[in-house]
Amino acid sequence: MKVIQLESVDSTNAHAKILLASEQLPFWILAERQSKGRGRYQRKWISNSGNLFCSGVYPIVHDLTHASNLSFVAAIAVAETLAEFVSPELIKIKWPNDILLNGKKVSGILLETFSHKNNNFVIIGIGINLLHHPKDSLYPATNLLEHANNNSLDQSPSIILDVLIDKFEALNETYTKKGFAPIRERWHRLCYNIPGEVDVNLLTEKFSGMATGIDLNGSLLVRLSNGTMRNISAGDVFFGSDNV
Ligand code: BTN
């Protein structure tokens, strides 16, 4: 797999859009730091050197569901990568794709789709807090070093990215051959607080209910107190009382 390594870039996701015109797909970009790292909902992603900032660029071969399913593939790949360095039971995925370590956010994924010359692409941006984390983030955050076995993390971001790409490729092959069902099953084994109480905070409404799982499109299934089921496909979801 081709990995383009850069010292400093505005955002690996933004840079991926420029490179996809000239690079053969798939490829990955790894940056030591980002000056305009971005998170979901136009939030900033603080990107000082020491943490992992990368983007993978893949063709979208079916419809857009394919792209959103890849965000679950990516989340599992990140979770399984981190589980190599800390006690695996500490790693959970908060729907849809935030990775938690001991209940705090250690990694986020920003998936963007893009069209170029009538072809569709998905850019999978992944940030992992390896050595440090922001202190005043919306969700409580942590870093891998804080919980690493033997209190040491002697692997560079590029070695960790190699592990991540191997896992992503293996899961992507499973997804390509067998569809979303085995990915969904694996995601359910890693998910945070499901079944569990959730406060759903959409742009247009807010409500609470019991999260029971994800459906075959990756939507979060929430049972309201009157028994109605809701499928949530986007939005901020707060689980339990700890607002993680
Ligand atoms: C989130 O809000 O949780 C998603 C954060 C995604 C951050 C990564 S860092 C590498 C890539 N480049 C960006 O500008 N953002 C993503």
DSSP codes, the chain: -EEEEEEEES-HHHHHHHHTTTSPSSEEEEEEEESS-B-GGG-B----BTBEEEEEEEE--S-HHHHHHHHHHHHHHHHHHHTTTS-GGGEEEETTTEEEETTEEEEEEEEEEEEETTEEEEEEEEEE-SS---SS-SS-B--HHHH-GGG-----HHHHHHHHHHHHHHHHHHHHHH-SHHHHHHHHHHBSSSSEEEEEE-SS-EEEEEEEEE-TTSPEEEE-TTS-EEEE-SSEEEETTTT-
Q: Is the pLDDT of residue 126 over 50?
A: yes
The Cα angle at residue 106 between residues 101 and 109, in degrees rounded to 5: 125
Confidence of residue 25 (pLDDT cuts 50, 70, 90): very high
Q: How far is CA 204 from CA 185, 199, 201, 207, 223, in A?
A: 30, 14, 8, 11, 19
Residues near 111 by Cβ (< 8 Å), separated by ≥ 6?
Answer: 67, 68, 70, 71, 74, 97, 122, 123, 124, 125
The residue ranking higher by pLDDT, 232 or 166, is 166
Q: Is the pLDDT of residue 43 over 50?
A: yes
pLDDT at 240: 55
- The whole-number average pLDDT for the span 13-33 is 94
Strand partners, 34: 9
pLDDT at 61: 80
pLDDT at 241: 46
Q: Are 203 and 216 in contact, with CB atoms under 8 Å apart?
A: no
pLDDT at 133: 95
Quick: pLDDT tens for 55-81.
999 998 877 778 889 999 999 999 999
Q: What is the mean pLDDT of the chain?
A: 91
Q: What is the pTM of this model?
A: 0.93
Residue 224 CA to ligand 1 center (angstroms) comes to: 32
Confidence of residue 236 (pLDDT cuts 50, 70, 90): low
Quick one: tokens of 91?
């790693």
Which ligand 1 atom sits closest to the C-alpha of 41?
Answer: 2
Q: Is the pLDDT of residue 139 over 70?
A: yes
Q: Is the pLDDT of residue 164 over 90?
A: yes
Q: Is the pLDDT of residue 36 over 60?
A: yes
Which residue out of 38, 52, 101, 160 has the highest number of ligand 1 atoms within 8 Å of its CB and is therefore the one to mutate?
Answer: 38
How many residues are given for the chain? 244
Which residue puts its alpha carbon closest to atom 2 of ligand 1?
39
% of the chain surpassing 70 pLDDT: 95
Residue 48 CA to ligand 1 center (angstroms) comes to: 13
Residue 3 CA to ligand 1 center (angstroms) comes to: 17
pLDDT at 235: 58
Which ligand 1 atom sits closest to the C-alpha of 127?
Answer: 9
pLDDT at 243: 43
The residue ranking higher by pLDDT, 240 or 165, is 165
Question: Which residues have CB under 6 Å of ligand 1?
Answer: 11-13, 34, 37-40, 43, 45, 53-55, 98, 108-110, 125-127
% of the chain surpassing 90 pLDDT: 72
